[in-house]
Amino acid sequence: AKFVNAGITQFQELEYQHNELKKIYEELLNHDQSLTARIKDLASENIHLVRQIEHQEQKNKRLTSSTSAGGGLSLFAELNQANKSEETEKKIAELEQQLTEKEKQLIASETKLLELEARTKNEQRDYLENETQKNA
C-alpha cells in the first residue's frame, strides 16, 4: 500500500510539473507570436522609412539640379531653392535617424525572439529528460 501511495504521489507531482511546463510553454508561445508580429511591424515601418528617404533624396537631387541649371534665377529664387534643399537634407537626416531607431528595435525584438526560442527548447529538453527518467 505504501508503494502504491508513493507511486500515486510521485505521479501527481509529475503531472503537476507537466501542467506547469505546458502553461509556461503556452505563455512563451504567445510571447513569441507577439514578438513575431512586432518584428513584422518594425520591418514594415523600416520599408516605409527607406522609401521616404529615397523620395527625399530624389527631391533633393531635383532641387539641386534645377538650382544649378537655372543660371538666370534671381537671388531670391536661388535662396528659396537652397532653403528647400536644406530642409530636404534635414528631413533625410531625420528619416535616417528614425530608420536607425527602428532597426535597433527590430534587432532587439529578434534577439528576444531567439532567447525565447532557446528557452523554450531548453524547457522542452528538460521536460523530455524528466519524462525519460520517470519512465525508466
pTM of the shown model = 0.46
pLDDT at 15 over 70: yes
pLDDT at position 120 is 85
CA dist 9 and 3 (Å) reads 10
- Is the Cβ–Cβ distance between 17 and 133 less than 8 Å? no
pLDDT at position 74 is 66
Handedness of CA 30, 39, 115, 105 (dihedral sign): negative
- Is the Cβ–Cβ distance between 14 and 130 less than 8 Å? yes
Q: What domains are there in the chain, each with its CATH number? A: 2-135 (1.10.287.1490)
